[in-house]
A and B are shown apart, each in its own frame.
Chain A
Amino acid sequence: MMNFQFNASELIFALPELFLLSAISIILLFDLFASERLKPLTYYLTQLALIITGWLAFDLIGESATIFSGTFVLDTMGSTFKVFIMGFAIIALVYTRHYLKAHELLRNEYFILALMSILGMMVMVSGHSLLTLYMGLEIMSLSLYALIASARDRSVAIEAALKYFVLGAIASGLLLYGMSMIYGITGSLDIAQISNFARASTLASQQTLILNFGLVFLVIGVAFKLGAVPFHMWVPDVYQGSPTSVTMFLSTVPKIAAIALLIRLLIDGLGDLQHYWSDLLMIIAVLSIALGSLVALMQSNIKRMLAYSTISHIGFVLLGFVTGVVEGYGAAVFYILVYILMSLAAFGSIIVLNKNGFEADQISDYQGLSKHSPWFALIILVVMLSMAGVPPFIGFYSKLFILQQVIAEGYVILAVIAVVFAVISAYYYLQIIKTMYFDDADKEITVSAPLDMRVVLSINGILILLVGLMPSFWMSLSVSLF
């Protein structure tokens, strides 16, 4: 049934992936044989590999091809996502290195595992067959499990890793179950053929039932990976238990891959069942926004708070998909990119305060920060207000875009619910600002992060304001992907 043909000229379209895979192997070998003195080079090689991969992906923007017998697709969306993945990963790794140093966790496997999971994400982004998508997902997830457990002597990290692994395996199982049903009914793993099958108007009711059944499991699998309610149980514990650098990584870059998974499966594959999955996503989205906003109010651990805040942001992203129109999808992509930029800055601000094994993960650790390091307090202020959706920061425009699409499709009530919860969630972001600016400090926190960390974090914070003042480009870019 499947006819695999190999054509060497197709390889050019998978160049970023192939390059990254080779780079990973080389870095792994280099690290194995490098002397102690040369070990720090691994980090720089990692960053170099990411930059080159990003550049290769950037170079392929505009090309489109379906290769490897239809299992791998190269399109503008895929290439753009890859560029963003690289860009965000580079920022994340700058923060990561400082964190690992501050906690004496610096081991080079960390970077190699991170690269490996990024490779998985790239495969997910470009997957054009159920099998490729699943394979990418597993490459990514397995590396992430190992990353969480990289803090071997912390029991909470081990617990988090185990929790993520067990629940992740269940989710993968559900996803596979859904995929097998779809494969069973359509007879193909190829997204294009699944799409053709679903489009055919002459479906027996039996076939529709099985297709819809499979669809439900796909939605559950994707919702789990995104951490949307009611499949969010793992999010707070994993976020809190993981080393902060891993939490940051988890909450940022893989989200792009998960969104790509959603787009490939639901829009590219089962786009004709949109009316059906829209309703599912709507319930998930509203629940996520509500629960994320309400439960975050009671958190005293900032990582846990950000976990719930992520859940509510994911709810907003899903609202964009609920609309079922291209602009709505574009709004969702814009939201996720904005969210990642903000999330990186938020975790970066936690990490920048880390030193000598001190974790600044309690909200009370931020007391009086604005006195001792006004610049970083200002960045955190910007990030928090942006997450709350206060203009002129970028977080406002992402919410605006989503709301505009939701209202345009006639869901005014959804928009009202969303904004009310946005106001509720503003309370806990304000708590952080209050702690930094209004409270007096018991102890003095000084920032002793290295220069690269400070510079990148500053740029990250300034971007939140600057892109907010000129959001046009990112917005039209996001819509042009579909």
Chain B
Amino acid sequence: MDSLLSLLIWLPILGAVLVLLIGNNRISIARWVSVSISILVFVLSVTLFLDFDTSTSAMQFVEKASWIGQFNVFYHLGIDGISMPLIILTTFSTVLVIIAGWEVIKNRVADYMAAFLMMEGLIIGVFSSMDSMLFYVFWEASLIPMLLIIGVWGGQNRVYASIKFFLYTFLGSVFMLVSLIYMYNLSGSFAITDMYTLPLTLTQQSWIFWAFFLAFAVKVPMFPVHTWLPDAHVQAPTGGSVILAAIMLKMGGYGFFRFSLPITPDASSSFATIVIILSLIAIVYIGFVALVQKDMKKLIAYSSISHMGFVTLGVFVVFSIMKMGADGQLVSINGSSIESAYLGLEGAMIQMISHGFISAAMFLVVGVLYDRLHSREISTYGGVINSMPKFTGFAVLFALANAGLPGTSGFVGEFMVILGALQANFWFAFLAATTLIIGAAYTLWMVKRVFWGPINNPDVSSLSDINNRELCIFAILATAVLLMGMYPQPVIEVMHTSVINLLEQALTTKLPVSL
């Protein structure tokens, strides 16, 4: 189908309008319509995946139409191996959150479902825009439903969290806007691929790099601009946290892949060490911060930041492994093979997907407990296994995946990035690898305090185990986590050609070659 991407973007958005029209008074219809639309979109995205040609790094499913003639802005869509998995992740997570919000949300149900559908369409738009202005429009517009989700259905301190979330990310993005316009004025085009070939001096690249960095680092979020995330996560309703962690953070990582590396290769290379250091701080320091949290959601939020550190580490470590030789061939810097550079980038991608599954699962685990006892405090619980054995089984599986147990998806991405980092610098790899200890420490310690041990709180003994709806969600997620952990090959295959292409772009200097 020619307009499959448009369909993926606009079907959920129009579906959201439909659900809004159905209104909060006809809850049951609104729920069923929402879930059908989200499943339909997921099925469509699977057909997209099946039709995807893994042998080329060129954009596929391209659609192009003039949009704002004044600025040469096109409604230009297309995907490659880097956006493909993220689109699947988006459609997959949306189905989950809509089912997860089924009975839990009692207030303004239709609006809630509509917000998630709207967000789904906008985020797919982000991942498939080939025009930077179209990208920016989707990027910013996706803030609006999230603002409302946190603000309307959030917890006690939701106003603070939602406005902080919005302003933080808005501030990051406007600098990206300025640099996009700056490049437009140089090249006369907002097309992302034209920006790849636009010659830029190192000074220009540096400014543009930092402008992009602000936008993407806030989104990822990287240390030290991560402080909005714990607030947003803690206050957001379960579904909001899931989408935030599973998809919105990936928009930042995606930005590094799509914009920073290919558009500002020389600046990325010269600032790579700074980014790597920030990533390592996130991995280690934020890991310790997670250790002392009393609130389960906050703990998972910090763990998210720590895990996302692997993404930026994997992306920027390639500059320490490979460089472009004079003959246009990739040359290794310290004798490692070209595969280790792929390991960095592909590990970062796998880590994004895997973190999407695991963080979604972890937030849903907390959501299940919160729905029953309305507390996120670790100290409220203890001995949950006695009353909720099935639930505990899943929770422990996801916790182990979060800690990076081999055989789960959490292991694959981190292991690949660590292997890549090892080729660059032993200490990078060493520090990154400490997460396997710290991550296990905070996750398993939480598991111990929540699920094992004696029951201290009488309410815990009267907890009812998960119902079929929840069981279904967790079973799907558990399958995804294990499948990715045991057999990540299909995902790697999808992105491999695009990653090779990206690596070449990232290592090809835009500066005039001095002889």
Contact = CB atoms under 8 A, between A and B. Distances in A.
Best-surrounded residue of A404, A415, A426, A433 (most CB of chain B within 10 A): A404
B43 interface: no
A415 B175 CA distance: 9
B105 to A, nearest CB: 15
A407 B184 CA distance: 10
Contact of A391 (B111, B140, B151): B140
A342 to B, nearest CB: 16
A400 B181 contact: yes
Contacts of A479: 70
Contacts of A396: 137, 140
Contacts of B144: 385, 390
Interface string B430-469: 0000000000000000000000000000000000000000
A390 B141 CA distance: 7
B183 to A, nearest CB: 10
Given A391-B140, A426-B166, A471-B68, A404 B151 contact: no
A475 interface: yes
B330 to A, nearest CB: 35
Interface in B261-276: none
A372 to B, nearest CB: 12
A358 interface: no
B158 interface: yes
B141 A391 contact: yes
Interface in B144-195: 144, 147-148, 151-152, 158-159, 162-163, 166-167, 170-171, 174-175, 177-178, 181-182, 184-185
A416 B163 CA distance: 22
Scoring B147, B158, B167, B181 by chain A CB atoms within 10 A of each residue's CB, the highest score goes to B181
A420 B71 contact: no
Contacts of A438: 151-152, 158-159, 162
Contacts of A392: 137, 141
B136 interface: yes
B180 to A, nearest CB: 10
Contacts, number: 88
A472 B137 contact: no
A166 interface: no
A427 B165 CA distance: 11
Nearest to B148: A437
Nearest to A479: B70
Given A390-B144, A403-B181, A419-B174, A472 B68 contact: yes
Contacts of A434: 151, 159, 162-163
A401 B69 CA distance: 12
A430 interface: yes
A427 B151 contact: no
A437 B151 contact: yes
Contact of B70 (A420, A426, A475): A475
Interface string A399-432: 0110110011000100110011011001100100
Contacts of B71: 400, 404
B287 to A, nearest CB: 31
Interface string B47-91: 000000000000000000001111100000000000000000000
B37 interface: no
B167 A427 contact: yes
A407 B208 CA distance: 14
A397 B181 CA distance: 12
Nearest to B122: A392
A344 B422 CA distance: 61
A476 interface: yes
Given A391-B141, A419-B178, A438-B152, A404 B170 contact: no
B170 A437 contact: no
A423 B185 contact: no
Contacts of B148: 437
Interface residues of A, number: 36
Nearest to A415: B178
Contact of B185 (A408, A427, A472): A408
A422 B174 contact: yes
Given A390-B170, A407-B182, A476 B70 contact: yes
Given A471-B68, A479-B70, A423 B171 contact: yes
A475 B170 contact: no
A392 B143 CA distance: 11
Given A390-B143, A391-B136, A420-B174, A415 B163 contact: no
Interface centre among B136, B152, B163 (most CB of A within 10 A): B163
A391 B174 contact: no
Nearest to A370: B152
Nearest to B24: A374
Contact of B182 (A371, A412, A419, A470): A412
B167 A404 contact: no
A400 B177 CA distance: 8
Given A472-B67, A476-B70, A426 B152 contact: no
Interface in A419-474: 419-420, 422-423, 426-427, 430, 433-434, 437-439, 470-472
B182 A416 contact: no
Interface in B299-352: none
A437 B68 CA distance: 33
A326 B67 CA distance: 22
Contact of B152 (A401, A403, A437, A471): A437
Nearest to A399: B177
A95 B326 CA distance: 70
Contacts of A419: 174-175, 177-178
A396 B69 CA distance: 16
Contacts of A430: 147, 163, 166-167
A438 B137 CA distance: 25
A404 B181 contact: yes
A411 to B, nearest CB: 11
A471 B175 CA distance: 22
Contacts of B70: 401, 471-472, 475-476, 479
Contacts of B175: 416, 419
A427 B137 contact: no
A379 B295 CA distance: 37
Nearest to A403: B181
A423 B174 contact: yes
A388 to B, nearest CB: 8
Nearest to A371: B108
From A390, A412, A476, residue with most partner B Cβ within 10 Å: A390
Contact of B163 (A403, A427, A470, A471): A427
B149 to A, nearest CB: 11
Nearest to B184: A404
A390 B69 contact: no
Contacts of B143: 390
B14 to A, nearest CB: 13
Interface in B109-156: 111, 133, 136-137, 140-141, 143-144, 147-148, 151-152
Contacts of A407: 178, 181-182, 185
27 contacts: A371-B108, A385-B144, A390-B141, A390-B144, A396-B140, A400-B181, A404-B71, A404-B184, A407-B178, A408-B185, A416-B178, A419-B174, A419-B175, A420-B174, A423-B174, A426-B170, A430-B163, A433-B151, A434-B151, A437-B151, A437-B152, A438-B159, A438-B162, A470-B67, A475-B70, A476-B69, A476-B70
Given A385-B144, A415-B181, A476-B70, 18 more contacts: A390-B140, A390-B143, A390-B144, A392-B141, A403-B178, A404-B181, A412-B178, A415-B178, A420-B174, A423-B170, A423-B171, A426-B167, A426-B170, A427-B163, A437-B151, A438-B159, A438-B162, A472-B68
Interface of A: 370-371, 374, 385, 390-392, 396-397, 400-401, 403-404, 407-408, 412, 415-416, 419-420, 422-423, 426-427, 430, 433-434, 437-439, 470-472, 475-476, 479
Interface of B: 67-71, 108, 111, 133, 136-137, 140-141, 143-144, 147-148, 151-152, 158-159, 162-163, 166-167, 170-171, 174-175, 177-178, 181-182, 184-185
4 smallest beta-carbon distances between A and B, as pairs: A419-B174, A391-B137, A438-B151, A475-B70
